């Protein structure tokens, strides 16, 4: 009788350990940082932060609108420089504010003369404050997603 009871306890312990132990060797998904959106987050463009950055391009990829939210948590007004394929544009951001490019009725930044086809990503330079310019890859989308259709450049 004791042997059966011991075998039952051992079997139950084996089942519990084998079904609950996977979290011991598997990384927790909640500890992995990622952008849960189409765009990317540029956090190393201090003092400004760029959120959900993406380009929406025409079919040929010769023109693209830059969409993003730029966050300034500092006490001073800042300017973000956004550069792609030799063209740079400035975005002023007041202290303790967020500038939306393409969202909430705001105009996106239009870049022309590009070779940024939808489905690729492009090397984009970001610089703010007195910090060094940082480069990151930003996705290029088209108007396939219904909420991006209005951002496809006309030409």
The CATH number assigned to the domain with range 40-151 reads: 2.60.40.1890
Distance CA(148)–CA(46), nearest Å, equals 28
- The stretch 55-76 carries a mean pLDDT of 95
Q: Does residue 23 have a pLDDT over 70?
A: no
Q: Rounded to a whole number, what is the distance in angstroms from the first to the last CA of the chain? A: 84
Distance CA(45)–CA(48), nearest Å, equals 6
> H/E/C letters for each residue in the chain?
CHHHHHHHHHHHHHHHHHHHCHHHHCCCHHHCCCCCCCCEEECCCCCEEEEEEEEEECCCCCEEEEEEEEEECCCCCEEEEEEECCEEEEEEECCCEEEEECCCCCCCEEEECCCCCCCCEEEEEEEECCCCCEEEEEEEECCCCHHHHHHCCCC
Whether 38 and 52 have beta carbons less than 8 Å apart is answered as yes
Res 9: pLDDT: 79
Distance CA(142)–CA(151), nearest Å, equals 9
The model's pTM: 0.76
Q: Token digits for 76?
A: 């001073």
Res 21: pLDDT: 58
Distance CA(153)–CA(63), nearest Å, equals 6
Question: Domain spans of the chain?
Answer: 2-31, 40-151
List residues bridging with 99 in a β-sheet: 70
| pLDDT tens-digit map of 73-99 | 999 999 999 999 999 999 999 999 999
């Amino acid at each position: 009788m004791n042997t059966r009871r011991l075998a039952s306890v051992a079997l139950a312990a084996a089942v519990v350990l084998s079904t609950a132990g996977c979290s011991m060797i598997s990384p927790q998904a909640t500890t992995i940082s990622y952008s849960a959106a189409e765009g990317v987050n540029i956090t190393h463009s201090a003092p400004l932060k760029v959120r959900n950055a993406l380009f929406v391009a025409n079919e040929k990829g010769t023109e693209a609108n830059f969409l993003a939210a730029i966050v300034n948590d500092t006490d001073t007004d800042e300017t973000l420089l956004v550069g792609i394929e030799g063209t740079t544009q400035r975005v002023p951001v007041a202290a303790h504010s967020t500038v939306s490019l393409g969202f909430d009725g705001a105009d996106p930044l239009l870049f022309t003369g590009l070779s940024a086809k939808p489905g690729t990503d492009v090397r984009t330079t970001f610089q703010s404050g007195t910090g060094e310019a940082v480069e990151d890859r930003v996705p290029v989308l088209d108007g396939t997603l219904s909420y991006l259709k209005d951002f496809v450049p006309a030409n």
